[in-house]
Chains A and B, each alone.
Chain A
């Protein structure tokens, strides 16, 4: 995979290929696939996200009992017109929470890039498809853009909460979704990179502090901020707003912040929300077999 946005942007300029084609062609070489096979594999991922969204079950609750049913609460409020954010952002919020809950309740999801952050990309993508009527082909291409961005982050920084804090999961997912949304808006590689960078800058330094070590609190609801932040970042970039720190340097900063974060807030369940009295009480109540 590519290690910098600059490489992809340069290639886009020199070959005339689009961002998503450059990422896909790299897969074809790495995995020995034809262009069609590679495209179909990514399409299968998109279809899996769709069916995960459709199979949300509001009656389920997670093993700890901390998570379940909130997606339906948002849906009810949205249908009643009770959301300040309006119907479209309401849909995004709803889908983000639903996917996070499905994950916590042992339903089938697509890690993107991780299971904890699995709601961000589908919330943005599925809502945009419903709202704007993009073709499946467009959506799959956009998913390739997201994959390319995730690849850059994985190599420049990290996509694991244990290694880089939650900026590496919800933050990375948000940057990936922002770039994908920018692509759908018709942006070139440079603008896509700025959308991703703007999204990441807002989430730099986010703690990974899951209560009782479970991918439930705060993970599920953080998918909302990841998704909404992706949309605002894509809009900013598409409007011509630029990250004053070049995108590749933003992700280098993410790496150094990830290293500097204390272990307590890197998925150890020892700090942050996990270490609150309530967090600790939950931990006591569910351990052992």
Chain B
């Protein structure tokens, strides 16, 4: 078939036509590409407690990651459900799943349906309510968490499908990370030098930075640097960072189980 060059270009950009129709060199249209190469266990799996990968497994994961970000067992939690989480969360057990995650249960833990009872036993106070967070992902939730030693954290997270999640806000500043990588979150004053300090420290420890994001509330105000790394960041490095002048708070999310101080 012959296309005019403009149509050909459009079709090519949409991935429907290869630019060189050479059968020896298959060109993969964009819609077939994936960020991450899939494997068989993306199809058969995960093993999870039902009923929904986004509304149940994803909610557990938001709980787990938020607990790790807090860096201590959760003593008190106030959870605000938004959008589809609010409309269908009760039916999907999103509430139980989130509390289970805050207790550190994994997505296939059979105790998830009884998580309220386990929370009572563990002395974890929790309050669940609805909220309108505005123009955010429909499966979003906001969490206010309090832990040991006056630790507290405010998280907004979204369950984006298939059990995957994104942390979209941390302590009032935007963020965008999945919790699938070791992640370093540095709240600092918006002044020159902090990015260099952090990246040279990581370089020194042979830690490769996978992604890096910078956000600030206003020029010269509070800022946050989020770094997803390919290797775990050692505890002493996290401590060193938190003592630097102009650094307000350092939160580290490791991949290992348990709480990361």
Contact = CB atoms under 8 A, between A and B. Distances in A.
B96 interface: yes
Nearest to B108: A108
Nearest to A109: B50
A144 interface: yes
B130 interface: yes
B77 to A, nearest CB: 14
Contact of B40 (A151, A155, A215, A289): A151
Interface stretch (B84-92, B175-183, B189-197): B84-92
A136 B238 CA distance: 48
B28, B52, B95, B129 pick with most chain A CB within 10 angstroms = B52
Given A106-B93, A108-B110, A115-B50, A212 B88 contact: yes
B32 interface: yes
Interface stretch (B41-49, B67-75, B241-249): B41-49
A230 to B, nearest CB: 15
B86 A3 contact: no
Chain B interface size, under 10 / 10 to 19 / 20 to 34 / 35 or more = 35 or more
Nearest to B32: A155
A121 B40 CA distance: 14
* Most B Cβ at <10 Å: residue of A115, A151, A162, A283: A115
A108 B37 contact: no
A128 interface: no
A45 interface: yes
A288 B113 contact: no
B43 A113 contact: yes
B49 A150 contact: no
Nearest to A41: B41
A215 B52 contact: yes
A63 B37 CA distance: 36
Interface in A105-136: 105-116, 118, 121
B172 interface: no
B50 A288 contact: no
A112 B34 CA distance: 19
Given A63-B93, A151-B40, A103 B88 contact: no
A284 to B, nearest CB: 11
A147 B51 contact: no
**Most A C-beta atoms less than 10 A away, residue of B40, B41, B81, B128:** B40
B105 to A, nearest CB: 12
B128 A107 contact: no
Contacts of A108: 47-50, 108, 110
Interface in B118-158: 128-130
B184 to A, nearest CB: 25
Interface string A256-289: 0000000000000100000000000001001111
A106 B96 contact: yes
B51 A115 contact: yes
A162 to B, nearest CB: 7
A189 B46 CA distance: 26
Contacts of A23: 40
A247 B38 CA distance: 21
Interface string A44-60: 01001000000000000
A1 B32 CA distance: 11
Nearest to A148: B40
B130 A106 contact: no
B188 interface: no
A114 B50 CA distance: 10
B38 A1 contact: yes
User: Which of the listed residues B34, B46, B88 has the most CB atoms from chain A within 10 Å of its own CB?
Assistant: B88
B234 interface: no
A213 B56 CA distance: 13
A151 B38 contact: yes
A45 B47 contact: yes
11 contacts: A108-B48, A108-B110, A114-B53, A115-B51, A144-B40, A147-B41, A155-B32, A216-B51, A288-B130, A289-B129, A289-B130
Top-10 shortest CB links A-B: A103-B50, A150-B43, A147-B40, A213-B88, A106-B113, A214-B91, A215-B51, A48-B47, A147-B43, A64-B91
Given A105-B50, A146-B43, A146-B44, 17 more contacts: A3-B32, A45-B47, A62-B91, A105-B113, A107-B110, A110-B47, A143-B44, A144-B40, A147-B40, A154-B43, A212-B91, A213-B84, A214-B51, A269-B88, A287-B90, A289-B128, A289-B129
Interface of B: 28, 32, 34, 37-53, 56-57, 81, 84, 86-93, 95-96, 108, 110, 112-113, 128-130, 161-162
